[in-house]
Chains A and B, each alone.
Chain A
């Protein structure tokens, strides 16, 4: 009997030792597993890589705008300028894809395509304010790191505004003074461009090159240039090359209505959206939402009375930056109609429809047939959004950062 008790006691000791050993092994294995998991979650330089690429894309965009504006200055053709600028952007995209092919890098950027594009160019030098602008939006995936869906938006704006000018005809040759403001932006806020030298400034009186004698910086991006001119004319053309990035921008003293822009006027409850020439474009950015019900939303924007007769080109181009406040399924179509009101009569010149396929710049072409809009007319833009699944929630962005515009006469 005693022998039996002893043997049971011995088994208990063995079982206790086994339990303790099991706990010990479990603990060791757990620590080992944690160590392996940490190794799997080891450092992957996604942030550095993405920030490096987007930062260099900003430089690429600056260079592309420089190429495009020089081409525009040579040819006067926005189409040729776009081709030159986009060629450089595509070269950068191609080089980057090849360099990072080992990481499975993908860059989705549609320069051309049905409806909207991911690259928008605006070079408008036809009035007392001039703009050289490029905007892009691209998506980026890095398959090696399982990093997908990054969307980057980049822009570069150079803004030139002639604020004051005067000609002294008592001297020979006639001397003239012109004050202008030169600003730039990559993101939201504008900042003055400093360090402009006389060789960065060209002045033409009509088409004749004037001799720049003095350039003074007055602060806040404002410069005063003095020049001598052989001929006297009210049309002075100012061409400025930015000293750091070699981007060209121009403006002239002859105000034209070659293009109009969506802009806000007034403040608070009295604030309204208007179509204005670029010289009256406000610095405030914003968006307008077409309103309505049952899948049909409408927004109508008018201009102030035009100050001169507007000679139209054969095509009116309406460029709108569109996005969606909340993504919804279904087909969304955006129809743009353009016309003007003269006296009591309203004349609609035409319309165009594009399918909304995401946040992009959309161009609507309206045949105008080389007509003319008389002075004191009110331009009318009507945007209608139709959706087969109820509300589309489309937003029209405007302001200097997203200059939605109507080009009445294509250069």
Chain B
């Protein structure tokens, strides 16, 4: 015949097991949630960089395929630069800052770089302060025989 003391001690043992299981579940849920949250935020950041990269390559592709370099930089350097700025800005969504550098590589074989020009819409310090800045580049040979190296930097605020 079980004494009252035995019953109380048996209940105590079950309660300890129950407590341990609950504690483990709580720990497990806490760790799982934390790791999920960390992973999700990294994923968002990585996705943003990929999107900016693709956007940047699309813009460069549009610039070189449309012949806009010939119509702006090669035709009329004074007005062409501001026109090119408008074209690039029109290809980008709102809230994206850009900096486009065009190097002329039509120099000699040993010293191909013979000048550059810079176009951008970013306020001072935006690229330095931004967490996500991407830089893409491409080559472009114009119909006049000039070889250009285009570098486009983008950031989102």
Contacts and interface: CB of A to CB of B under 8 A. Distances in A.
Judged by DSSP, the binding face of B is: helix
Interface stretch (A38-46, A108-116, A210-218): A38-46
Interface string A39-72: 1001101001100110110011001001100000
Interface string A1-35: 00000100110010011001101110110011011
B53 interface: yes
A99 B109 contact: no
Contacts of A45: 53, 57, 136
A16 B27 CA distance: 14
Nearest to B32: A27
Interface in B36-56: 36, 38-39, 42-43, 46, 49-50, 53-54
B139 A53 contact: yes
A152 interface: no
Nearest to A32: B35
A298 interface: no
Contact of B141 (A6, A59, A244): A59
Interface in B126-157: 136-143, 145, 147, 149
Contacts of B39: 31, 34-35
Contacts of A49: 138
Given A20-B24, A28-B35, A99-B105, A43 B49 contact: yes
B149 A88 contact: no
Interface residues of B, number: 45
B64 A56 contact: yes
A52 B57 contact: yes
A187 interface: no
Interface string A72-100: 00000000000000001011101110111
A43 B51 CA distance: 10
B138 A52 contact: yes
B62 interface: no
Contacts of A245: 143
A44 to B, nearest CB: 9
Given A98-B112, A99-B103, A56 B140 contact: yes
A125 to B, nearest CB: 22
A246 interface: yes
A43 B109 CA distance: 33
B64 A99 contact: no
Interface of B: 9, 13, 16-17, 20-21, 23-24, 27-28, 31-32, 34-36, 38-39, 42-43, 46, 49-50, 53-54, 57, 60-61, 64, 103, 105-106, 109, 112-113, 136-143, 145, 147, 149
